[in-house]
Amino acid sequence: MTTATAPTNVVPTREWVRTWAPYLVLVGGVIVLQWSFGSGGVFPARGDSVLESPIDDAGAWLRSNRLSHPVFTSFFTPISSFVSAVISGIGNLLLWLPWFVVVAIAFLIPARVRMWRAGTVAAGALLYTGLIGLWDETMRTLALMSAAVLLAVVIGLPLGMWAALRPRVELAMRPVLDAMQTIPAFVYFLPLFMVFGIGNVPAAVATVIYSLPPVVRLTTLGIKRVSPQAVEASKMYGATTPQTLFKVQLPMAVPTIITGLSQTIMMALGIVVLATLVGAEGLGSPVLQSLNQRRTGRGIAAGLAIVAVAMVLDRVWRSFAVRDPSQRVTRRAGLLTIAGLLGGVVIGRALGSVEFPTVWDWSLFDPIDDAVVWARDNLRWLTRPFSDFIVVRLYLPARDFLTETLAWPVVVFVAGWGCWRVKGPALATFTVGAMLTIGLIGMWELSIDTLVQVIIATILAVIVAVPLGIWVGRNRRMEAVVGPMLDALQTIPSLVYIIPAVILFTVGVVPGIIATVLYAMVPGVRITALGIREVPEESVEASRTFGATPRQTLLGVRIPLAAPTIMAGVNQVIMLALAMVIISGLVGGGALGFETVRALKRSLFGWGFEVGLALVLIAMILDRFTEAVAQRMQPPSATA
């Protein structure tokens, strides 16, 4: 009896087609489009005036009707007046109080719950700002940030509670919160400048918008994490839903909510310097002044003063998370403390000891300037080749290849193909539509320039962050050494460490890339270390059981299993790199960052809107693409 056998070449042929067909489509599409459109060529900006002209007209209308139109007099003007009154009230109060009373309050608020170390740190931070002669500027910044954080709490807490109780509300809020965190903070400045004018108000509102998501998200998370048994017990005793929320869930969620406020403070810190561009008062002006004068030491002095403000707010807010009554001081001690503060106010005002006495000024940091100048003059053998490598070998070839060698349809096609392979038609359609929009509004070359700078900075940051994160994740002692340095890089305003980069490398794209790497590498290190630590010990032990060396275990087990988490860290690196675009524009990086600054300074509303739209679309493309890559890296058990 004979049996028929199927042709042996059918299955391999189908597998070959399934494997290689997408790549044949890619190569064929590139060849056809490049041959059809030729090398380079300007993207036909058909919609350039479609957005710019109407928005310029709207900006002109806003300028002429800001004081008279009912939309302003009945809505925006009251909001502006309220926010301005809050900021001015806090600032005037802080400057009216004797300086030593303000320092005492910064110590006593954490100390009332026996957080002595936190109180000492807060008081010491304020003393530092006074000793270097930046007391008044610090009080202005403290008022601005206090008002912004307070408004974020007032708005964010109810939204977070609502989302925790209503899953549909949380689902609807999620894309909005994602967009608020994805959009670079400075993009908010121009529309707010159009509505509220210059000053502290647009800076405060932009800070609230940018820093609101952590409060909402962590309020929702904290309430959801409350023990179901506690909620059920409350309901068994007859409590209504509001009573359960305010007497059980919300108090138990306070630590998580305070963590959200801490993140809000850190995010607000990054806007302080940029807020100077829209007329905000405070420590941003000394930082920008130090950049213009190229005084590294004074920039560090002012930057540390901004950090001091963040430390004070963080310690004060964290003290409100303490719920243990045994840690609180007695009522009698509290009354005596208040009486002492009132006495200090009376004595200080009577003796005229209100302003901080002159001890030093920020010229105390001038020796740092001498050190940077010495490095500039004596390290040219290192800085010049590095600068040439970044510009000549990386930046210019990549920019020219994407704008002059490749036809623009090829770039769009390849990006859409890559997104299709990673996520599917939805992401590909969005990416192609976003890139076409960027081109049609006349932002193609500027956007490619910005994208190249962001990608170069991201690659360099990842080259540093991932190996360092792996080392930190495997070595607790290394974490103790690196941790404070990462905290400093994340806390000090990014404009501060761009000053020495400008002095060492002169203006151009290189200082912006260096500052971006220093600023954006921090989450890459932290998240990579977290991913390495979270690899299941069972997998590591199984690898060792089969005789794998530590190196083989690292490369074959730890890194592959941590890859999704590492990719999430890369996503955060990209987002922070985009946040540095305007800083790069300030020091000669050009592209969209410079155009943003120019639009703000010259009130080019239409042009600024198009620049902001291009930045938002770039951010959304990169964010969604890297998230999709991270999802594909998930092991089958994690995605099941």
Terminal C-alpha separation, the chain: 47
Tokens of 628: 């999709």
Most confident segment among 31-40, 87-96, 360-369: 87-96
Q: What pLDDT band is residue 640 in, cutting at 50, 70 and 90?
A: very low
**pLDDT recorded at residue 324:** 60
Q: Residue 391 has what DSSP assignment?
A: I
Alpha-carbon span 523 to 573, nearest angstrom: 6
Q: What is the pLDDT of residue 330?
A: 67
* Confidence label for 585 from pLDDT (cuts 50, 70 and 90): confident
Residues 501, 510: contact at Cβ < 8 Å? Answer: yes
Q: Which domains does the chain have, with CATH numbers?
A: 379-639 (1.10.3720.10)
Question: Of the candidates 288, 275, 305, 137, which has an alpha carbon nearest to the alpha carbon of residue 204?
Answer: 275
- Would you state the pLDDT for residue 598? 84
Q: Give one word for 361, left, alpha or beta, with left for phi > 0 and alpha for psi -120 to 50.
A: beta
- 638: confidence class by pLDDT, cuts 50, 70, 90: very low
Inter-residue contact 249 to 226 (CB < 8 Å): yes
The mean pLDDT value for 307-320 works out to 81
Give 132's DSSP letter.
Answer: T
pLDDT of residue 396 exceeding 50, the answer is yes
d(CA 281, CA 200): 7
pLDDT tens-digit series, residues 264-282: 777 777 777 777 767 777 7
pLDDT value at 584 more than 80:
yes
| Whether 441 contacts 613, CB under 8 Å | yes
Q: Which of 1-15, 232-246, 415-429 has the highest mean pLDDT?
A: 415-429
Rounded to whole angstroms, how far apart are CA atoms 574 and 274? Answer: 20
Write down the pLDDT at residue 435.
93
**pLDDT per position as a tens digit, 541-578:** 887 777 777 777 777 878 888 888 888 788 888 888 88
Residue % of the chain over a pLDDT of 70: 91
Q: Please give the pLDDT value at position 415.
A: 92
Whether residue 145 is predicted with pLDDT greater than 70 in this model: the reply is yes
CA atoms 417, 423, 426, 431: torsion sign: negative
Q: What angle do CA 342, 344, 349 make, to 5 degrees?
A: 100
Q: What percent of the chain has pLDDT over 90?
A: 7
Cα separation, 582 vs 593, in Å, equals 4
Mean pLDDT of 593-622: 84
* Residue that the structure tokens 């994690």 belong to: 638
Nearest CA to 291 out of 595, 495, 513 is that of 495
pTM as predicted: 0.79
The answer on pLDDT for 49 being more than 70 is no
pLDDT at 431 over 70: yes
Q: Which amino acid is at 540?
A: V
CB atoms within 10 A of CB 385: 10
> Mean pLDDT, to the nearest integer, of 593-605?
81
User: What is residue 417's predicted lDDT score, i.e. its pLDDT?
Assistant: 92
DSSP-assigned states of every residue in 461-475: HHHHHHHHHHHHHH-
- What would the mean pLDDT of 215-229 be, rounded to a whole number? 79
DSSP sequence for 215-260: HHHHHHHHHHTS-HHHHHHHHHTT--HHHHIIIIIHHHTHHHHHHH
pLDDT of residue 299: 81
Decide which of 636 and 390 is more confident: 390
pLDDT per residue over 148-196, tens digit each?
A: 888 888 888 888 888 888 888 888 887 788 777 667 677 777 778 777 7
Residues 6+ apart with CB under 8 A from 357: none
Largest CA distance in the chain: 117
Highest mean pLDDT: which range of 249-258, 433-442, 551-560? 433-442
E strands of 556-610, at which residues? none
The C-alpha atoms of residue 181 and residue 159 are separated, in whole angstroms, by: 16
What pLDDT is stored for residue 429 in this prediction? Answer: 93
Task: Give the confidence band of 412 by pLDDT, cuts at 50, 70, 90.
Answer: very high
Q: Do 621 and 434 meet the contact criterion of CB atoms below 8 Å apart?
A: yes
**CA angle (593, 44, 394) in 5-degree steps:** 45
Q: How far is CA 46 from each of CA 36, 49, 94, 222, 444, rounded to the nearest angstrom?
A: 20, 8, 53, 49, 12
User: Is residue 496 within 8 Å of residue 284, measured between CB atoms?
Assistant: no
Contact 287, 273 (CB under 8 A): yes
Q: Which residue's structure tokens are 């963040």?
A: 310
Read off the pLDDT of each residue in 91-99 and give the average, rounded to a whole number: 88
Task: Give start and end residues of each alpha helix (H) in 331-475.
Answer: 331-351, 366-378, 380-388, 396-400, 408-422, 425-440, 444-474
Amino acid (one-letter) located at 488: A
